[in-house]
Chain A
Amino acid sequence: MSTLEIKGLTVSVHTEDGPKEILRGVDLTVSSGETHAIMGPNGSGKSTLAYSIAGHPKYTVTGGTVTLDGEDVLAMKVDQRARAGLFLAMQYPVEVPGVTVSNFLRTAKTAIDGQAPKLRTWVKDVKQAMANLRIDPEFADRNVNEGFSGGEKKRHEILQLQLLKPKVAILDETDSGLDIDALRIVADGVNQAKDETNVGVLLITHYTRILRYIKPDFVHVFVDGRIVEEGGKELADRLEDEGYDRFLTAASA
């Protein structure tokens, strides 16, 4: 049982006009087995939340705490956070020329576990996970994200989620740019990870579409750098009907 606890998190980014506050006090707790959806309009700071938890150097935490099972996440470097059990599936996964998927996966797995995976079971696990995500076996020999389509990149992120087995996974707009078939495959992959490892999921999305395939236990509406309303699955349904307008009016009032 793991718990990611975010309390009063404020984050700013450096701009030409000085620091700009993006997150204005976020409180959120994600435990193993739970799926939290964070929904909000573009520019509300959803991705900033994801990258701040992962430790992207572009964002400066100005206040609040983030802990994973009581450990201070904010004091950890990016790689330490991953080894502690956090995972970020990125909206725009990065190309790494000359580094093959298989080399990358093995290197990451070795770093996360602190020892190299046993070769025979590892190869089998990778093949199985790739097959489940309908990833062509030849991708193992391709360079990380190089020449991948949008859908292939997202499936590759979920492949890592399955193989690295984090305690808490943040999925940053994993549904963006996916057609319905790809969305189903990706959602199945996430659900499988939930079943197998009881991973806690923080699912960041603009649209409710993905929530038809990945059932959230909690829905948080994110506007202007903070959570403005919380509820269950029914809140997502309401957002689908009404959009974000009423929150935007409230925020700007």
Chain B
Amino acid sequence: MSLVADTSRPVDAVTAAGKAHTDSAAAFVPDKSRAERTASFDVADFPVPRGREEEWRFTPVKKLRGLLEPGATGRLEWDTFLPEGVTVSTIPSSEARELGALPPQDRAAVVAADVEKVTLVDIPAEAELTEPVRIRLIGDDATQPIHEHIVVRAGHHCRATVLFAHRGSAQYAQLVSVLTGDASDITVVASQRWEDDAIHLAQHDALVGRDATYRHISLTLGGKIVRLNANVRYAGPGGDATLLGVYFADAGQHLEHRSFVDHNTPHCKSHVTYKGALQGASAHTVWIGDALIRAEAEGTDTYELNRNLILTDGARADSVPNLEIETGEIVGAGHASATGRFDDLQLFYLQSRGIPEDEAKRLVVRGFFADVIKQIPMADLRAEATAAIEHELATTAYAAAATSDSTTPEHTSKEN
């Protein structure tokens, strides 16, 4: 299912249904199940994508050029704040695999993992960090490809927040492997506030320990192309994973978020919520939410939701939830996706209380993101996220374009 709220653009699915292209149909056979998708550390297992592949069909692959070729030599500048007890070291990639890092699931991740040295962030068992681990990754060159594999190992019963703050200009393929110990409580925040020329392809995996709580929060505001895949598997029963995302795409930006929750273990939970706003010509966002409940994952409770708010004409949001269920012995499974414009009734209500149209729109957008933003654990990052969204809104031309526009909102939505 593809949700497109821009009527001026053709919808791929419609074209394909109306007039079958035998050449592409013969060349491409989609996986029957997400479980069949290749996962490997061997670069040869992933051909360079051409754009027709299921996992790449929304991504502007032609613009990725050298980033998908192995052997990149560039480096980002690391600026770290490490609370007491937390260490950062370098380990050989063979050791990263022995630690249990999950294998890459696409070409970008496999080249990111195809490096000799892996950075290991180690959080000791039973550590209760009162300050987050802050890692600023700063680029200064958008022409030099960079490949990087980072492992975050959190010991049993520890509690920590790890922030990856991405800044500057870069062409960056990244694999982050989070290994959470039993009964740990780990939050990973990935903030993408790149410059306009940056390309960032990321796979953030978590292997969630027994009875562990894991949160992954994406905040994607900057960059030319950002594609962040947040994946979860469970190392034992009782795991609880929450994947959250906030994104705001301007003209010319492609911001893509994918998640795959692999319920491979009984009695685990997952909750996925991504919310995005779009404005400006050719602003494009993609959300693909895959959840697989395997036959052995009895007692699973999962829900995924994506909401997109289209602020101006010419923007496009694709939203595809996929839920596969192989056992009926579950607590719950559901998904919802909706993409729409401003709700005229909401705006009328606010305006009828004296609030000017611009301010009413800002209030609605702020409110739209509020439930996700408030789950960001650091006050300074919440404030930063709110301020950044305000800044995006301040540059919006919708106020001028939409004044006295009283057409009914277009909604392309589906609830399941």
Q: Name A's B-contacting residues (CB within 8 A).
A: 54-58, 77-79, 81-83, 87-88, 90, 93-99, 103-104, 107-108, 111-112, 143, 160, 164
- Per the bound structure, the CA–CA distance linking A56 and B360 in Å amounts to 15
A77 CB contacts on chain B under 8 angstroms: 351, 357
B:359-409 near A, CB below 8 Å: 359-360, 363-364, 366-371, 406
B276 to chain A, nearest CB (A): 14
CB-contact partner of B367 in A87, A96, A108, A164, under 8 A: A96
The answer, yes or no, to whether B18 is at the interface (CB within 8 Å) is: no
CB-contact partner of A98 in B349, B357, B366, under 8 A: B366
- Per the bound structure, the CA–CA distance linking A117 and B294 in Å amounts to 57
- Per the bound structure, the CA–CA distance linking A164 and B357 in Å amounts to 18
A79 CB contacts on chain B under 8 angstroms: 351-357, 360
Tell me whether B366 and A111 are in contact (CB under 8 A).
no
| Central interface residue in B344, B354, B368, by most chain A CB within 10 Å | B354
Tell me whether A57 and B406 are in contact (CB under 8 A).
yes
Closest 8 CB pairs of A and B: A98-B367, A57-B406, A98-B370, A82-B354, A108-B353, A111-B354, A94-B349, A78-B351
Tell me whether B353 and A111 are in contact (CB under 8 A).
yes
Q: What interface size band does chain B fall in?
A: 20 to 34
A112 CB contacts on chain B under 8 angstroms: 353-354
Q: Beta-carbon contacts of B312-336 to A below 8 Å, as 1s and 0s? A: 0000000000000000000000000
Using A82-B352, A93-B349, A112-B354 as known contacts, say yes or no to A107 and B368 having CB atoms under 8 A apart: no
Tell me whether B406 and A99 are in contact (CB under 8 A).
no
A164 CB contacts on chain B under 8 angstroms: 353-354
The answer, yes or no, to whether B345 is at the interface (CB within 8 Å) is: yes
The answer, yes or no, to whether B346 is at the interface (CB within 8 Å) is: yes
A selection of 28 A-B contacts at a CB cut-off of 8 Å is: A54-B352, A57-B344, A58-B406, A79-B351, A79-B354, A79-B356, A83-B354, A88-B352, A94-B345, A94-B348, A94-B349, A95-B346, A96-B350, A96-B364, A96-B367, A97-B367, A97-B368, A98-B367, A99-B366, A99-B367, A99-B370, A107-B359, A108-B353, A108-B354, A111-B353, A111-B356, A111-B359, A143-B367
A53 to chain B, nearest CB (A): 10
Nearest neighbor of B343 in chain A, beta-carbon distance: A94
- Per the bound structure, the CA–CA distance linking A242 and B353 in Å amounts to 38
Q: Name B's A-contacting residues (CB within 8 A).
A: 343-346, 348-357, 359-360, 363-364, 366-371, 406
Nearest neighbor of A97 in chain B, beta-carbon distance: B367
A164 to chain B, nearest CB (A): 7
B354 CB contacts on chain A under 8 angstroms: 79, 82-83, 108, 111-112, 164
- Per the bound structure, the CA–CA distance linking A103 and B350 in Å amounts to 12
8 additional A-B residue pairs with CB within 8 Å, beyond A55-B352, A57-B344, A94-B343 = A58-B406, A79-B352, A79-B354, A79-B360, A81-B352, A98-B369, A99-B363, A104-B363
A10 to chain B, nearest CB (A): 19
- Per the bound structure, the CA–CA distance linking A46 and B343 in Å amounts to 24
A95 CB contacts on chain B under 8 angstroms: 346
A66 to chain B, nearest CB (A): 15
Tell me whether A98 and B359 are in contact (CB under 8 A).
no
- Per the bound structure, the CA–CA distance linking A89 and B351 in Å amounts to 13
Tell me whether B367 and A94 are in contact (CB under 8 A).
no
Tell me whether B371 and A160 are in contact (CB under 8 A).
no
Tell me whether B355 and A108 are in contact (CB under 8 A).
yes
- Per the bound structure, the CA–CA distance linking A104 and B351 in Å amounts to 11
A204 to chain B, nearest CB (A): 15
| Central interface residue in A58, A81, A96, A111, by most chain B CB within 10 Å | A96
Tell me whether B349 and A96 are in contact (CB under 8 A).
yes
B143 to chain A, nearest CB (A): 40
Tell me whether B406 and A107 are in contact (CB under 8 A).
no
Nearest neighbor of B372 in chain A, beta-carbon distance: A98
- Per the bound structure, the CA–CA distance linking A88 and B350 in Å amounts to 11
A94 CB contacts on chain B under 8 angstroms: 343, 345-346, 348-349
Nearest neighbor of B405 in chain A, beta-carbon distance: A57
A98 CB contacts on chain B under 8 angstroms: 366-371
Nearest neighbor of B350 in chain A, beta-carbon distance: A96
